[in-house]
Chains A and B, each alone.
Chain A
């Protein structure tokens, strides 16, 4: 029965029968896992992916009722990833420099470095230049294969905002490619 049932119907059923949520896990776990590992590395990525389903389960009563739950899950994963990068940045400074004062700007720098750390070397520098929102948008599109509409659902912003973010991200990537080309020529 579950094979033909939409995500929305399963999530609705899981309000009374929590076990129904198991099929949501089985359907979406591999792709959410891959996305989180691509973003945060194998160790933290696995934890964030698992946590995504825990959060989704706890918030299933607020699910928007669309047939496909993938954008919703990617949205939760993106929030958790951002929280993890921030927590990791705070933790790394707290553990290495107990009591040292670090400004919010320093923290943001560490967060951006961590956020790009597990990407391939080609992507690392350009991704570190993007704002967190633009980076999430670009990576949800390229890594998770979400459409603009799905990204809008995942990130809870209007589709026009997704378009603007994609334009900014693409412009920065284009500038990076031009720089690469110039350095190769010289």
Chain B
């Protein structure tokens, strides 16, 4: 191109050609905004939002969908004449993360990849005070029929899968958490969080339990820990199932004491959710998921002062059992 051309024209000439957003993309953004709008009058509350307003959130979101479901264009008279049901949203206790809401809608639209099982390679590095760093690698195979197998190597995993008598059965509790997450894919964050909490195998911590008796803050923190573990388990055990991942991401959107960051990992856009266990406790845990698919990529735990630090990296692929050939 000639240097005589105007600079602004030259820049404009070299723009990337970005098409208009397609219907699915627009729908994701609209739904995320709707979900956010449905709780807009609420002040965030620190304590356990999923226990207070699961039903209320659903009602609020549904009301907003009815008002704002016409798609692009000018809208109808219904949009100007009505308002989001104030009574419904007024009961809501917390404000879900918008980034995670948007991600969950995207993940829920993701198709299931071919194959009949999900292979997860887990590599964990642990650094503990006073000890040499250690590393662990293992392979989990989650078959779509609910069977679960583990091998320290791919060869040993293949051997186990080909001999069903030697197989592990999937932990029933994990199966329940995965099923709860799948059933939550199209619900609200607080509903998803509540379902995951109900499916977890641990007893609900109550104030006054134990010795010394649990305080309210301690019980809240324990409950957050149970929720966090359920989200993490669902993302691991349901790594190959978009509906499970969507449900887990929705539940994470309702978690208190978390920060959500959109960032990159090796040039790949990711979303990082970090749970801080409280002002008197400097322990921090993070989950990093692919910002398009919601697939778990990394999990970090930092035990705080004097504690250990660990990082688990996940490589998820769909395979066909029993040969474990790549399915795509």
Closest A residue to B19 by beta carbon equals A34
Given contacts A26-B75, A58-B40, contact A170 B8 (CB under 8 A): yes
User: A153: shortest Cβ distance to chain B, in Å?
Assistant: 19
Partner among A44, A84, A118, A123 whose Cβ is within 8 Å of the Cβ of B11:
A123
Using A33-B29, A54-B98 as known contacts, list a sample of 12 further A-B pairs with CB atoms less than 8 Å apart, ordered by residue number in A: A1-B77, A3-B74, A18-B84, A22-B68, A30-B20, A46-B28, A47-B99, A47-B102, A50-B32, A57-B36, A87-B263, A98-B311
Are A33 and B30 CB-contacts (below 8 A) given A20-B79, A20-B80? no
* Shortest CB distance A160–B (Å): 18
B7 CB contacts on chain A under 8 angstroms:
169-170, 173-174, 177
Q: Which of A69-77, A88-96, A100-108 contacts B (4 or more CB under 8 A)?
A: A88-96
Rounded to whole angstroms, the CA-CA distance of A22 and B70 in the bound complex is: 9
Mask of B28-48 contacts with A, CB within 8 angstroms, 1/0: 111011101110100000000
With a CB–CB cut-off of 8 A, which chain A residues contact B71? Answer: 26
8 Å CB contact of B272 from A18, A21, A37, A91 = A91
Cα of A132 to Cα of B167 in the assembled complex, Å = 57
Across the interface, name the chain B residue whose C-beta is closest to A98: B311
Nearest-Cβ distance from residue B237 to partner chain A, whole angstroms: 24
Of residues 184 through 220 on chain B, the ones whose CB sits less than 8 Å from some CB of chain A are none
- Judge whether A138 is part of the interface by a CB distance below 8 angstroms: yes
Interface residues on B, range: 35 or more
CB of B37 within 8 A of CB of A18, answer yes
Do the beta carbons of B83 and A50 come within 8 Å of each other? Answer: no
Specify which chain A residues have a CB less than 8 angstroms from the CB of B75 in the assembled complex.
2-3, 22-23, 26
A105 vs B102: C-alpha distance in the bound complex, in angstroms?
A: 33
**Chain A: minimal CB distance from B215 (Å):** 34
Cα A90 to Cα B262 in complex, Å, equals 11
Residues of B within 8 A of A57 (CB): 33, 36-37, 40
A interface majority secondary structure: helix
Q: How far is the CA of A107 from the CA of B164 in the complex (A)?
A: 52
Residues of chain B within 8 A of A26, CB atoms compared: 71-75
B262 pairs with A44, CB closer than 8 A:
yes
Q: Are B8 and A19 in contact (CB under 8 A)?
A: no
Q: Pick 25 A–B contacts, CB within 8 A, sort by A.
A: A2-B75, A13-B80, A16-B83, A21-B33, A22-B30, A22-B67, A22-B79, A33-B20, A33-B25, A34-B19, A44-B264, A51-B102, A54-B32, A87-B261, A91-B265, A91-B270, A91-B272, A92-B263, A92-B265, A95-B265, A95-B298, A138-B8, A170-B7, A177-B3, A177-B7
- Classify the secondary structure of B's interface with A: mixed
Query: In this assembly, does B137 line the interface, its C-beta being within 8 Å of a C-beta of chain A?
Result: no
A43 and B263 contact, Cβ closer than 8 Å, known pairs A1-B77, A26-B71: no
3 nearest CB pairs, A to B: A91-B263, A3-B74, A22-B68
Answer yes or no: B328 CB below 8 A from chain A CBs. no
B residues 94-149 touching A (CB-CB < 8 Å): 98-99, 102-103
Contacting pair B20 A23 (CB below 8 A) = no
Verify if B18 is at the interface (C-beta below 8 Å from A). yes
Is B172 an interface residue when CB atoms closer than 8 A count as contact?
Answer: no
Q: Tell me, in angstroms, the Cα distance from A169 to B38 when the chains sit together.
A: 42
Per-residue 0/1 for B50-71: is the Cβ within 8 Å of any A Cβ (1 yes, 0 no)? Answer: 0000000000000010011001
A95 to chain B, nearest CB (A): 5
| Contact B262–A84 (Cβ < 8 Å) | yes
Question: Smallest Cβ distance from A59 to chain B, in angstroms?
Answer: 11
> Per-residue 0/1 for B262-296: is the Cβ within 8 Å of any A Cβ (1 yes, 0 no)?
11111101101000000000000000100110000
Q: Which of A48, A54, A96 has the most CB of B within 10 A?
A: A54
How far is it, in angstroms, between the C-alpha of A142 and the C-alpha of B73 when the chains are bound? Answer: 26
Contacts of A23 in B (CB 8 A): 74-75, 79
Task: Find chain B residues with CB under 8 A from A58 CB.
Answer: 40
